[in-house]
A and B are shown apart, each in its own frame.
Chain A
């Protein structure tokens, strides 16, 4: 809770997102269900719009250029906040049907479907050839998946399936079906009445395999209840023994099923085009009434006052009737916190702060280097009373000033990150380090902290430089990740819902990544220095590296073993050679090699620096590769849509750079370094 308070303090005074000021605050914070989580309407809108258009702020797509240079772009000044875009879609779906909005960045598919650029309209996808291509690709994938076969899709087909889902999402969004407002039946009495009164109205062949349509799902549920009853009756008819073995059809069985399938009514069902069934629905009519009024205010686009009033009414109605019956329905405070988090974008500020911190410290260190002793573990920063009469004192003071600014900036970054993670923890109620994005942010945080702590303990400011730069780069990567990889807050995998293990295991193992990242950045810095200056890496600096690696190895070993214990506890085996387990072990083994070879002198300071850099490739493989290179590898194009065209070249560039540096060092030394 302290974290949350800190967060709130930090978030105060942050400017609202442009264009949203005109909308009532209640509308932004209206709790809606989207992707299995009840969240503020503004957040849901962000996610819906980004998922469909690939942009969080969207507007009119216009054609620029002519002939071969023709391209699509969003017209200047037409960009609107996501919530306005979503409202515009719901108000005038017919108009938007012909407008370009479905994100399709894959060029070959654009050509194949005859698109002009990176956005397609629903109308363009309804051209028979385009529709057939998407439909066939989807069927091929679904058919193979249904049969359990290997899915062999061409990249075009994969992207066509993505585009097809965007089109579905867009249709749902237009119809107001993308967001849910209230559960269909919430308590046992209501469920019983639904089954008794509305069952007969709904029974029939399920209309479509569209799971998201609550009518289809309700039909399936009712059909299953019927099937169970029939089975039980048949069993009773067979004879006493069989009937005794079969549990009697309990009156609660149907209600159980209905509760489990937890069907929610969408904005469309409740607000925009209220359904006959909904009118007959058991339960408080207040929600339906306010929803209908709200729907009218939203779609017709009445004045702000009435929108404000109806939203407020709906919010109240939901809070009094729905909230008590839904587990973890967000409180008004939680909604406010999430909205503040969304506006504040703490992680964006954090990476800027980290980078400023790293750069300032670097300037300080460089200035200090020019002023006197060489940079490294032996360099003493800010020692009081040192060399008073020295003419370099002024320079040094200046350098120390830079370093201090850097430290302050890094600390600010740390606080921002802590605040952001605290808020996410508050919202998800779980460990806050649960997906790629959160691990990236968490690693950035720890790199910065480790850098500062080491710098303080050893008085080697280089640590702070590496910490700031490493954290900045890392947090930048997090910022650049697509939102569906984690910056959107989503529900956890069932198996991960164990607060204790999530904290103990995940935080430990990911912390080891931070130590290795620190070593990697340090390694890069010292190798570059050594290559520029000539001669090998200094032993003093090597010791700093060694310290980081030690921390990393301890955390990695502990994290891996804790993971084993969790796996033993949850899955019944300590070790199962699962790829993620294996790659954690590979990291450990990778770093153990130089730590051992160091004893016999095969790996020297330069070798250790090089290994810190090369070894980090194993961390990247475990952290990113297992999920995005291996995990997506069920089809012929093993490299799925996981940003591998950025990550792999970066890794290659890093390897080449380090190798070049090593060669330069070896040449300048006049003799080859054994490990390099």
Chain B
């Protein structure tokens, strides 16, 4: 390969930059390229690499030359292509916002762009002064730099959503960052997804390669609490945990030192219908230990929970011994012993001496209780639900401590706080519990938690007697009615999940990435004031008050807002939103809104915004984005009815640069590919060969 360059031109560039030695470059003799492969093999327009151009310069220039080399460019481009290709999969799995946080807005990703910028700049710069055949290439690179500058200038541009309800002034643009504020104190804004435990790009690559399990939505505990508000004299707030897609209300979450809790859900499947949840609730063994699902008049489902430390009680619960006495028996579990006493409702109060330190007095016996205004009465019309009231006396006979305890036969261990240590476990054993009672209705689910953190379940159908038992260790799901071997056309399913140690907290919901915002975000913060601190959960759009020794602290948590009125001097009011329909009214043809722009001085200006027809005002552009449709009680969309019209509100200070850069880029490519020959021929030194 014989190529001779007008090295003077190269040197001139060095000279122009002020510091270069003018040495005839030895690289000129070294064949850099295969003669067949270069597009232009003519000496004047032949390619000289950036590294070659800076080979004999200082170390800084050589690094620069290396950075601006074609190899570097190819490497950067390839890296970028691979990264963003994978990023689209990330976006599919975790949503657009997560992809932005983990990839597109991440420092490392911007470093790739910085690298690209240097390469683009350097490749053009080291070739100064440019010769005609390089004009296209220079314009392309200039266009790229302009584009990148456009994006750089606009990196903090406004981009949020503005929902406008008809007849109401709308001016608060909701941004994607969150804001936590202390009443009368500081506030902090943060990107919630940075703390949501979404996988990093590297981790995601491992997931794609099946080398790591996929990260699922859940409660994410920050490795280190993040300080949101740091005010040594006032209230400081640290972020401990975050769940991005959580339940609307607080439920229970596992904790190291909490009390047991059980989530109970009943699902019903009518004949020929579909299975649907009729209700779900959390029960603990203290405040709430009972819940009634009254979804069908003929078959109310009552769930009752209790706990005991007695192994004998647990044993008898799942395999109850026969009840010999027709009036029922009182089973007493006390200090490792089980005793059964026949009940004599005819002779109340009935005193039972169980042990030296335990005396029981049964003073009420009701078969069909009715709780009316006048108190408890026995009503033959009421459902069969045998109940006794027991006065429990513990301690030596001289110093007895008394407690009143109602004991339901269908709820063997009505366990409130009083049934703690030092009290016996009492079962009112009545045949009604176990034997079919024709004509009676109702389904009773009884649960007994043992010291082994396992829940014993048994369920009684009033008309059929004891119907089944189960031992629950964590999650359990089974048919109460209509299961295998049960001819009932209706199926009732019970789903329970037991948390042996739980505390209040939001439950994570697995939302589809595009529906993230339909679930509620929760954060757990530690609030500190005057040396004391407390933890609390707050849901987005919520507020909570934390009691501290130094006084109550009120926190509000909401998306960060941009006040259009205060910052840009106008607000809008929706007059009318129209969803244009295709014939038949089932396909949307267009979205359009009529709005009034409310100026500072009370000016009112009618405007129209529709898809592909945005509105510009004071540097802010409003684009029709979507609308909130009204739904009826059953959750069906009501055609033609809307709650609010939703606009994207954006500014773009880099718009001019972006458009200019785009134009330069395309122009440059055209010049480079098709006018290069013409340009190259202009100088006298140009080759006679036709360039492509």
Seen from chain A, the residues whose Cβ lies within 8 Å of a Cβ on chain B are 33, 35-38, 128, 131-132, 135-136, 139, 143, 146-151, 180, 183, 206, 209, 211-212, 217, 220-221, 223-224, 228, 245-247, 256-258, 260-264, 326-327, 491, 494-495, 497-498, 501, 539, 542-543, 546-547, 550, 553-554, 557-558, 561-562, 564-565, 568-579, 582-583, 585-586, 589-590, 592-593, 596-605, 618, 621, 626, 630, 633-634, 638
Contacts and interface: CB of A to CB of B under 8 A. Distances in A.
A621 B37 CA distance: 29
Given A257-B640, A570-B612, A572-B614, A600 B590 contact: no
B357 interface: no
B37 A603 contact: yes
A652 B43 CA distance: 42
Nearest to B612: A498
Nearest to B52: A600
Given A577-B96, A589-B81, A600-B49, A497 B583 contact: no
Contact of B611 (A257, A494, A575, A582): A494
19 contacts: A139-B276, A148-B519, A149-B512, A151-B512, A246-B167, A260-B585, A491-B587, A497-B589, A498-B612, A542-B37, A561-B662, A564-B658, A568-B652, A570-B611, A573-B648, A579-B92, A582-B85, A589-B77, A599-B38
B484 interface: no
Nearest to B639: A261
Q: Which 8 A-B pairs have the closest CB atoms?
A: A148-B515, A262-B585, A36-B587, A601-B33, A572-B650, A36-B582, A589-B81, A561-B662
A634 B88 contact: no
Contact of B612 (A228, A497, A603): A497
Contacts of A498: 611-612
Nearest to A148: B515
Nearest to A580: B88
B652 A209 contact: no
B692 interface: yes
Interface residues of B, number: 94
A494 B591 CA distance: 8
B636 A209 contact: yes
A600 B510 contact: no
Given A146-B635, A554-B673, A596-B73, A547 B692 contact: yes
- Most chain-B Cβ atoms within 10 A of its Cβ — which of A228, A260, A605? A260
Given A598-B38, A626-B88, A553 B167 contact: no
A220 B665 contact: no
Interface in B440-460: none
A35 B584 CA distance: 8
Contacts of A593: 74, 77-78, 81
B32 interface: yes
Interface in B504-558: 509-515, 518-519
Contact of B84 (A211, A495, A586): A586
B581 A596 contact: no
B329 interface: no
A577 B70 contact: no
Contacts of B34: 601, 604
A262 B581 contact: yes
A547 B692 CA distance: 8
A633 B583 CA distance: 31
Contact of A38 (B583, B662, B665): B583
A148 B245 CA distance: 11
A223 B632 CA distance: 9
A149 B632 contact: no
Contacts of B80: 589
B121 interface: no
B164 to A, nearest CB: 13
B511 A149 contact: yes
Given A260-B639, A600-B49, A495 B585 contact: no
Given A579-B91, A586-B85, A600-B49, A546 B39 contact: yes
A572 B515 contact: no
B639 A596 contact: no
B612 to A, nearest CB: 4
B104 to A, nearest CB: 5
Contacts, number: 260
Contacts of A327: 583
Nearest to A500: B612
B92 A572 contact: no
Interface in B296-320: none
B28 interface: no
Contacts of A37: 582-583
Given A136-B275, A261-B640, A577-B96, A554 B669 contact: yes
Contact of A497 (B89, B166, B590, B640): B590
Nearest to A635: B512
Interface string B599-613: 000000000000110
Contacts of B400: none
A557 B666 contact: yes
B641 interface: yes
B630 interface: yes
A626 B85 CA distance: 10
A58 to B, nearest CB: 25
A255 to B, nearest CB: 11
B87 A570 contact: no
A36 B583 contact: yes
Contacts of A206: 632, 636
Contacts of B84: 577, 582, 585-586
A316 B648 CA distance: 46
A352 to B, nearest CB: 34
B666 A573 contact: no
A100 B587 CA distance: 31
Contacts of B272: 128, 131-132
Contact of B512 (A148, A596, A630): A148
Given A263-B585, A574-B655, A589-B81, A245 B168 contact: yes
Given A135-B274, A149-B511, A220-B632, A494 B85 contact: no
Interface in B224-251: none
B73 A577 contact: no
Contact of A596 (B70, B632, B648): B70
B47 interface: yes
A568 B652 CA distance: 9
Given A148-B515, A589-B81, A36 B611 contact: no
A601 B32 contact: yes
B652 A574 contact: yes
B417 interface: no
Contact of B88 (A326, A562, A575, A579): A579
Interface string B26-55: 000000111011110000000101000000
A264 B583 contact: yes
Interface in B95-143: 96, 99-100, 104
A36 B641 contact: no
Given A150-B511, A501-B612, A564-B662, A223 B638 contact: yes
Contacts of A33: 583-584
A382 to B, nearest CB: 21
A111 B145 CA distance: 61
A599 B49 CA distance: 8
Interface string B252-279: 0000000000000000000011111000
B195 to A, nearest CB: 21
A499 to B, nearest CB: 10
A247 B167 contact: yes
- Most chain-B Cβ atoms within 10 A of its Cβ — which of A212, A220, A638? A220
Given A220-B632, A573-B159, A630 B89 contact: yes
Nearest to A137: B274
Contacts of A151: 512
Contacts of B673: 550, 554
Contact of B166 (A148, A221, A247): A247
Given A247-B167, A570-B612, A600-B32, A262 B584 contact: yes
A539 B518 contact: no
B519 A561 contact: no
